Amino acid sequence: MDESRRDRDEEGRARNARPRDGLGRPLPYGTPGVERQPEGVVRSPGETVREAQRLLDAGMPFHAHEVFEDAWKSGPDAERELWRGLAQMAVGLTHAARGNTAGGARLLRRGAAAVEAFRASGPHGIAVDGLIVWATELAGRVEHAAQRGAGGGPEGSGPVDAAAEAPRLRGGDQPGK
C-alpha cells in the first residue's frame, strides 16, 4: 500500500486502515494488530454494556469507547449523556494506560461529571455511583503518580494496567479498592 495516500472506505471517506494495538494506537502497516470494532452498530443497552465490559476486561478500553460511542449516537436523546460519559471514562482509562496522566485524569473526571445526572436511577443496571467513584479515584491516583514522578521520586508515573483497572459497569467491587 502507498503510505502517502489516505485510506478511504467504500464511499470515499477518509479512514485510517493502519492496524491498531489493544489501546487503539496505530501500528505500522503490515504489523498484526487487534481487530477494530465495527462502527455504527446498533445494540440494545444490555448488549452495549456486555460488549463494553468484555473489552474493558480484556484491557481494550479504546475499543470499549467505540461501543459506547455507537450507543451515544444511536440511543435515545435522554440517554446521550450517559453513553457519552461512559465513552469518556473509557478514553480516560485509555490515556492513563498509554501514560498520558493529564489527559487520562481530565477525561475520567469529565466522564464522571457527564453521568452524574444518572446516579440515582442506575439505568440498565449500570452502577453509575460506583463508576463515578472509580473514575474520580483513578484520576487522583494517576495524577499523584505523575507528581511523584515529576519530583524525581523512585515511584515514577508509568502507565496503568488497563485490564487490572477495568471498572465494573454493573457493580461489584471496583479495581484499586
pLDDT digits (tens, 9 = 90+) for 61-107: 999 999 999 999 999 999 999 999 999 999 999 999 999 999 999 99
Q: Is pLDDT of 173 > 50? A: yes
Exposed, middle or buried by CB within 10 Å (0-12, 13-18, 19+), for 39?
exposed
Q: Cβ contacts of residue 62 below 8 Å, gap of 6+?
A: 20, 22, 23, 24, 90, 91, 94
The Cα–Cα gap between 76 and 79 comes to: 6
Residue 95 or residue 25, greater confidence: 95
Query: Domain map of the chain by residue range?
Result: 45-150
CATH class for domain 45-150? Answer: mainly alpha
What is the average pLDDT value for the chain, to the nearest integer?
86
Over range 8-18, report the average pLDDT.
64
- Condensed to tens digits (0 to 9), the pLDDT of residues 123-133 reads 999 999 999 99
CA 165, CA 7: separation in Å to the nearest integer? 34
- The pLDDT of residue 7: 60
Q: Measure the CA–CA gap between 61 and 80, rounded to whole angstroms.
A: 19
* 150 or 118: which leads in pLDDT: 118
Predicted confidence (pLDDT) at residue 37 exceeds the cutoff of 90: no
Which residue is listed with cell 457527564?
114
